[in-house]
């Protein structure tokens, strides 16, 4: 299980005369159990993406710990093959000079010793799982639509057979109809592959569609945790404001 325990993060250097480092994450604690889909919901600047980087081990907290099965997440050997990631900017997350085949093979080579023929078969199966034909293996990222590129990114994330996948605003740049298709795909993959999700988003509607539990994030702190099925009972003013704001569009 991923455990976030009293985590704090500041940006800026300490000095005698300059301003104090700015607190970005303030004493956050959160458990992310296996087989659960958790949404971390917050507006721009809330600190949710900083928290996601610490969950992925990209950054280390100034205080507190982020662990996977009681081991520090910042150690590569701890998180290797255990957590995949899909990011918002699909144009930069896929290497522009690699074909889809190359992108998938690169990750497969880091996981298991397989022959080229075995990886070819596995790559075709992965593409089928995410709703793409094997013809996409020879395509480059600039030949893909936004939805197709994000499906490739999802295929890359699942090819390591992870326990967790973290999505950092992974659907926010897509058209609404494509967002719905990707959410349906993620629901199906969670069931068929028994995946656990950490879904970072500003979109409370997408979060309630996909996730079991909602973590409302504001100013670097957890404002509220609530089961999705109980969202209609919330009495938290900020949570209700987020709901009202999105329903008004």
DSSP E strand stretches across the chain: 2-11, 22-32, 37-41, 63-68, 71-72, 83-87, 164-168, 196-201, 213-218, 221-227
Average pLDDT, the chain: 92
Distance between CA atoms of residues 200 and 87, nearest Å: 10
- pLDDT tens-place string over residues 111-132: 777 899 999 999 999 999 999 9
First to last CA, the chain: 37
Please check whether residue 112 lies inside any domain of the structure: no
Please check whether residue 104 lies inside any domain of the structure: no
Please check whether residue 155 lies inside any domain of the structure: no
CATH number at residue 45: 3.40.50.300
Please check whether residue 168 lies inside any domain of the structure: yes
Please check whether residue 39 lies inside any domain of the structure: yes
pTM for the full predicted model: 0.92
Non-local CB neighbours of 176 within 8 Å, separated by 6+ positions: none
Distance from the Cα of residue 189 to its chain's centroid: 14
Please check whether residue 73 lies inside any domain of the structure: yes
Q: Which pLDDT does position 18 carry in this prediction?
A: 60
Q: Give the count of domains, the chain.
A: 1
Please check whether residue 30 lies inside any domain of the structure: yes
Q: In which domain, by residue range, is 183 found?
A: 2-93+162-247
* Residues in a beta bridge with 215: 40, 225
Q: What is the mean pLDDT of residues 153-179?
A: 94
Please check whether residue 145 lies inside any domain of the structure: no
For the beta carbon of residue 25, count every other beta carbon within 10 angstroms.
Answer: 26
Distance between CA atoms of residues 67 and 50, nearest Å: 16
- pLDDT tens-place string over residues 83-109: 999 998 877 789 999 999 999 999 998
């Amino acid at each position: 299980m991923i455990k976030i325990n009293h985590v704090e993060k500041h940006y800026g250097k300490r000095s005698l005369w300059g301003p104090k480092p700015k607190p970005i994450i303030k004493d956050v604690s959160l458990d992310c159990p296996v087989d659960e889909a958790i949404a971390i919901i917050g507006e721009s600047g809330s600190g949710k993406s900083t928290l996601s980087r610490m969950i992925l081990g990209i950054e280390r907290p100034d205080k507190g710990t982020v662990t996977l099965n009681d081991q520090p997440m910042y150690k590569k050997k701890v998180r290797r093959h255990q957590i995949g990631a899909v990011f918002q900017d699909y144009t930069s997350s896929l290497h522009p000079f690699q074909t889809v085949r190359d992108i998938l093979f690169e990750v497969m080579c880091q996981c298991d010793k397989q022959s080229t023929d075995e990886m070819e078969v596995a790559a075709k199966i992965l593409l089928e799982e995410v709703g793409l034909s094997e013809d996409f293996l020879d395509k480059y990222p600039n030949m893909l639509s936004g939805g197709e590129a994000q499906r490739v990114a999802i295929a890359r994330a699942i090819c390591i057979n992870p326990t967790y996948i973290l999505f950092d605003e992974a659907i926010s740049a897509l058209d609404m109809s494509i967002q719905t298709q990707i959410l349906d795909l993620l629901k199906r993959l969670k069931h068929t592959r028994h995946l656990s999700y950490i879904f970072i988003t500003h979109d409370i509607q997408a979060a309630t569609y996909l996730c079991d539990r909602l973590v409302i994030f504001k100013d670097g702190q957890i404002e509220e945790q609530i089961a999705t099925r109980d969202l209609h009972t919330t009495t938290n003013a900020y949570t209700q404001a987020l709901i009202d704001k999105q329903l008004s569009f």
